Chain A
Amino acid sequence: MEKALKKSAPIFVLPTLIAFIIGFIVPFGQGLYLSFCKFTTVNNAEWVGLSNYKAALTDASFGRSFVFTVLFAVVSILTINVIAFGLAVLLTQKIKGTNIFRTVFFMPNLIGGIVLGYIWQILINCVLTLVEKPLLALNSTAGYWGLIILMCWQQIGYMMIIYIAGLQNVPDSLIEAAEIDGANKWQALLKVKIPMVMSSITVCVFLTLTNSFKLFDQNLALTGGDPNHSTEMMALNIYQTFYARAGALWKGYGQAKAVIFCILVISIALFQLKATRSKEVQQ
């Protein structure tokens, strides 16, 4: 079997491999190399060593975007997962219309980040006008909470679906056994259900974590970083360094930021996977 298959390797692997090399491997390698260079296009790169990194790490706006991203990520991961899990628990009870509720809660997921950002910008600006507060463009507190609300609206449905699938896999016999042993509903939830869906929790926390850190479209459309870059997240900050300013140094400088960002996302994701995986139970 393996032998026969190996002969036809080019047919099976080459199309994806070539596209993967063009779409990922080459840009990734080049990006890594260019982060040590001064350049405006790929062809006029000049090696400058670590000076891009030095500039990136001492850039106050990059540091500020990091703090903003972390604050955003912590709050959004908590709210999204708690609410999504709560909804999943309610929707796995024996009530009527669960299908309709599931359909409605999932819907915002299908709408793209740019359109979502725009919808919420209109809505939030109108509310702010009614309560006579400054609009989003001048109001960083509203920008922060606006982003949180937007992300909750978009992601809760998705995570809820994953939690529902996890909860439905918990065998009824386990819950019954716990009830016979005298556990009440809360105890059954905390001591039996949650440990049993730990693998869903790992997946959902992983997804919300990486989504929060990589968030770009929604940030661009809702606040665009206004006022004065105070609601700018890391991805948007990197984009602005690349495309919003001029000067030969800037591109290498943005690429260095991108490499730092990439290492940060990967290490946080790995750390989180390790931390929650260790709490999973064998079924």
Chain B
Amino acid sequence: MKQKKNIGNYIITVILSILSLLWIYPAFMILMNSLKKESAISTGSVFKLPTAETFAGLDNFIDAIASKGFLSSLFYSLFITITSVAAILLFCSMCAWYITRVKSAFSKIMYLLFAFSMVVPFQMVMFTLSQTADRLKLNTPWTIWIIYLGFGAGLAVFMFCGFVKSIPVEIEEAALIDGCNPVQTFFMIDMHMLAPTMISVGILEAMWVWNDYLLPTLVLDIKKYKTIPMLIQYFRGSYGKVEMGPMMASIMLTIIPIIIVYLAGQKYIIKGVAAGAVKG
């Protein structure tokens, strides 16, 4: 009986290992080709490893970094992601605390509107949103976080509300009796208790903002500012021959930081996804 079980587990491990290799393969293929010389990248030889003759070292990566726009795109993407996520975490947790603790018609309507906004597809608002952003001068990387706060509020408020409900009101009341005003109560008591949720929400929102393509394309002036996804799409859409080597190297350069962050914080990321799903 015990041996049978061992064989079963062995088979499962083998199946999972094969699947894992398949899962990694596409990224691995891009990495292999980004190390080849431009002339050696063709549809016929794509699946082959680079040989001594075709190996280009890090040339493609250096080209990609040196190419116009890569570093500034990286900076815009980072800046937009950090400001948007920070704003979402701070303001949405405050808003969620208020609408959970104060039971009024206003709170109820807000809650329903936030929940509603999560299901609405972006195409419904894309044209009017970009025009509104233009009119209010929110069409720069420095101000686009306001748009992200507005459009990302639905998910964040919804998740925070779920967690605020599990914080006992008595703790907050005790703080009030001890002389805290509501603002102090929130920052000194609830902020700490919401910290794990902050990480979950922060990760989900960061994944969204970092990878978002359509919103920044429509809102930002593409001639002046490009985020990483915009840059990749722009490369491909441009006329003339696309140089495959630097292209694949820049794909790798955009993936590698994400993978490093993921490996470092995977415990939180996986917990965040599971927690987000339960509340959502």
Contact with B along A1-32 (1 / 0, CB 8 A): 11011111101110111011111111110110
Task: Assess whether A122 is in contact with B30, with CB atoms less than 8 Å apart.
Answer: yes
Task: Assess whether B236 is in contact with A153, with CB atoms less than 8 Å apart.
Answer: no
Interface hit among B51-59, B64-72, B150-158: B150-158
Centre residue among B94, B153, B277 by max chain A CB count within 10 A: B277
Smallest CB separation, B72 vs chain A (Å): 18
Partner pick for A17 among B110, B131, B138, CB 8 A cutoff: B110
Interface residues of B (CB under 8 A from A): 9, 12-13, 15-17, 19-20, 23-24, 26-27, 29-30, 43-44, 46-47, 87, 91-92, 94-95, 97-99, 101-103, 110, 113-114, 117, 119-129, 131-132, 136, 138, 146-151, 153-154, 157, 169, 172-173, 176, 181-183, 186, 207, 210-214, 228-229, 232-233, 236, 248, 251, 254-255, 258-259, 262-263, 266, 269-270, 273-274, 277-278, 280
Smallest CB separation, B181 vs chain A (Å): 7
Tell me the bound Cα distance from A221 to B213 in angstroms: 11
Chain B interface, >50% SS class = helix
Task: Assess whether B263 is in contact with A24, with CB atoms less than 8 Å apart.
Answer: no
Partner pick for A94 among B9, B172, B251, CB 8 A cutoff: B9
Q: Of all chain A residues, which has the CB nearest B275?
A: A165
Known: A104-B24, A111-B255, A115-B251. A129 touches B43 (CB 8 A): yes
Task: Assess whether B255 is in contact with A27, with CB atoms less than 8 Å apart.
Answer: no
User: Besides the contacts A1-B101, A104-B20, A126-B46, what 13 more A-B pairs have beta carbons closer than 8 Å?
Assistant: A16-B153, A19-B150, A23-B129, A25-B113, A28-B128, A42-B132, A107-B23, A111-B255, A114-B232, A119-B30, A164-B274, A261-B123, A262-B124
- By a CB distance below 8 angstroms, the chain A residues around B233 are 114, 220-221
Known: A108-B23, A261-B124. A11 touches B150 (CB 8 A): no
Partner pick for B270 among A123, A153, A161, CB 8 A cutoff: A161
Interface residues of A (CB under 8 A from B): 1-2, 4-9, 11-13, 15-17, 19-28, 30-31, 34, 41-42, 87, 90-91, 93-97, 100-115, 118-120, 122-123, 125-126, 129-130, 153, 158, 161-162, 164-165, 200, 203-204, 207, 210, 213-214, 216-217, 220-221, 235, 238-239, 242, 251, 254-255, 258-259, 261-262, 265-266, 269
- By a CB distance below 8 angstroms, the chain A residues around B117 are 20, 24, 28
Task: Assess whether A17 is in contact with B95, with CB atoms less than 8 Å apart.
Answer: yes
Task: Assess whether A5 is in contact with B113, with CB atoms less than 8 Å apart.
Answer: no
- By a CB distance below 8 angstroms, the chain B residues around A31 are 124-125, 127-128
Tell me the bound Cα distance from A22 to B87 in angstroms: 15
- By a CB distance below 8 angstroms, the chain A residues around B212 are 112
